[in-house]
Amino acid sequence: MEDNKLYKIRHSAEHVLTQAMERLWPGKIVKAMGPAIDDGFYFDFDTNDGLKISESDFHAIEKEMDKIVRQNLPITRQELSEEEAKKLFEDNPYKLEWIEKAVAEKEVISVYWTGEPGKEGSFVDLCAGPHIEKTSEIKAFKLLSLAGAYWHGDEKNKMLTRLYGTAYGSKEELDQHIWRMEEAKKRDHRKLGRELDLFTFSDLVGSGFPLYTPKGAMIRRLLNQFVEEMQTAEGYQQVWTPQVAKGELFKASGHYDKYVGDMFRVVSNYSDDEFFLKPMNCPQHTQIYASSGRSYRDLPIRMTDFAMLYRDEKPGELNGLARVRSFSQDDCHIFCREDQVDKEIDTALQMTKKIMDTFGLKYRYRLSTRDREHPEKYLGNPETWDRVEMWAVEIMKRNNIPYYDGPGEAAFYAPKMDLMATDALGREWQLSTVQIDYVQPERFGLKYTDSDGSEKTPVMIHRAILGSAERFMMVMLEHFGGALPLWLSPVQVRVLPISDKTMDASRELVKRLAGAGIRVEIADQADSLGKKIRNAEAEKIPYMVIMGEKEVEAKMVAIRQRGQKDLGQVTEADFVSRILTEVAEKKI
Catalytic residue among 329, 435, 440, 492: 329
Q: Looking at the structure, tell me whether residues 499 and 465 fall in a common domain.
A: no
Virtual torsion, Cα 49, 42, 69, 90, nearest 10 deg = 50
Cα-based distances in Å from 323 to 121, 142, 248, 327: 44, 27, 27, 9
pLDDT at 239: 95
Q: Looking at the structure, tell me whether residues 397 and 513 fall in a common domain.
A: no
Q: Would you tell me the crossing angle of helices 503-515 and 572-585 to the nearest 10 degrees? A: 40
Long-range contacts, 61-66 (Cβ 8 Å, 24+): 61/17, 61/20, 61/21, 61/24, 61/143, 62/141, 62/142, 62/143, 64/20, 64/21, 64/23, 64/24, 65/13, 65/16, 65/17, 65/20, 65/141
Asked whether 506 and 497 are in contact (CB, 8 A), the reply is yes
Q: What is the pLDDT of residues 392-407, one digit of tens each?
A: 999 999 999 999 999 9
Q: What is the CATH number of the domain that holds 341?
A: 3.30.930.10
Residue 462 known to be catalytic: yes
Catalytic residue among 8, 11, 311, 494: 311
Long-range contacts, 577-581 (Cβ 8 Å, 24+): 579/486, 579/492, 579/493, 579/516, 579/518, 579/543, 580/516, 580/517, 580/518
Q: Last residue of a domain, which of 427, 457, 479?
A: 479
Reduced to 3 states (helix: H, G, I; strand: E, B; else coil), residue 11 is helix
Q: Last residue of a domain, which of 150, 177, 204?
A: 177
pLDDT at 105: 87
Q: What is the CATH number of the domain that holds 40?
A: 3.30.980.10
Q: What is the CATH number of the domain that holds 572?
A: 3.40.50.800
Residue 372 known to be catalytic: no
pLDDT at 227: 93
Q: Looking at the structure, tell me whether residues 36 and 128 fall in a common domain.
A: yes
Cα-based distances in Å from 246 to 251, 265, 268, 276, 311: 9, 10, 11, 6, 16
pLDDT at 22: 93
Can you tell me the distance from the alpha carbon of 143 to that of 154, in angstroms, rounded to the nearest whole number? 25
Can you tell me the distance from the alpha carbon of 438 to that of 458, in angstroms, rounded to the nearest whole number? 8
Cite the DSSP H helix spans in 148-269. 171-187, 189-195, 214-233, 247-253, 255-259
Q: Looking at the structure, tell me whether residues 565 and 500 fall in a common domain.
A: yes
Residue 177 known to be catalytic: no
Can you tell me the distance from the alpha carbon of 275 to that of 562, in angstroms, rounded to the nearest whole number? 50
pLDDT at 1: 42
Residue 331 known to be catalytic: yes
Residue 189 is assigned to a structural domain of this protein: no
Long-range contacts, 553-557 (Cβ 8 Å, 24+): 557/509
Q: Looking at the structure, tell me whether residues 298 and 211 fall in a common domain.
A: yes
Residue 272 is assigned to a structural domain of this protein: no
Q: Looking at the structure, tell me whether residues 40 and 120 fall in a common domain.
A: yes
Q: Looking at the structure, tell me whether residues 400 and 549 fall in a common domain.
A: no
Q: Looking at the structure, tell me whether residues 29 and 110 fall in a common domain.
A: yes
Q: Looking at the structure, tell me whether residues 294 and 416 fall in a common domain.
A: yes
Residue 549 is assigned to a structural domain of this protein: yes
Reduced to 3 states (helix: H, G, I; strand: E, B; else coil), residue 452 is coil
Residue 311 known to be catalytic: yes
Phi, psi dihedral angles at 208 (to 5 degrees): 85, 5
Catalytic residue among 177, 302, 370, 416: 416
Residue 15 is assigned to a structural domain of this protein: yes
Residue 253 is assigned to a structural domain of this protein: no
Catalytic residue among 127, 282, 332, 336: 282
Reduced to 3 states (helix: H, G, I; strand: E, B; else coil), residue 13 is helix
Best CA proximity match to 445, nearest among 253, 281, 244: 253
Residue 396 is assigned to a structural domain of this protein: yes
Catalytic residue among 125, 331, 418, 423: 331
Q: Looking at the structure, tell me whether residues 511 and 468 fall in a common domain.
A: no
Q: Last residue of a domain, which of 464, 479, 494?
A: 479
pTM of the model: 0.82
Q: Would you tell me the crossing angle of helices 214-233 and 341-358 to the nearest 10 degrees? A: 140
Catalytic residue among 162, 177, 462, 463: 462
Mean per-residue pLDDT over the chain, rounded? 93
Residue 461 is assigned to a structural domain of this protein: yes
Strand partners, 405: 367
Catalytic residue among 333, 479, 494, 540: 333
Can you tell me the distance from the alpha carbon of 477 to that of 89, in angstroms, rounded to the nearest whole number? 47
The boundaries of the domain holding residue 391 are 195-243+278-479
How many structural domains is the chain composed of?
3
Q: Looking at the structure, tell me whether residues 470 and 493 fall in a common domain.
A: no
Residue 107 is assigned to a structural domain of this protein: yes
Q: What is the pLDDT of residues 217-250, one digit of tens each?
A: 999 999 999 999 999 999 999 999 999 999 999 9
Reduced to 3 states (helix: H, G, I; strand: E, B; else coil), residue 243 is coil
Apex 241 CA angle, 238 and 245, nearest 5: 160
Virtual torsion, Cα 71, 86, 105, 317, nearest 10 deg = -60
Q: What is the DSSP code string of 96-127?
A: HHHHHHHHHTTPPEEEEEESSTT-TT-EEEE-
Low-confidence ranges of the chain (pLDDT < 50): 1-3
Can you tell me the distance from the alpha carbon of 166 to that of 38, in angstroms, rounded to the nearest whole number? 10
Q: Looking at the structure, tell me whether residues 18 and 164 fall in a common domain.
A: yes
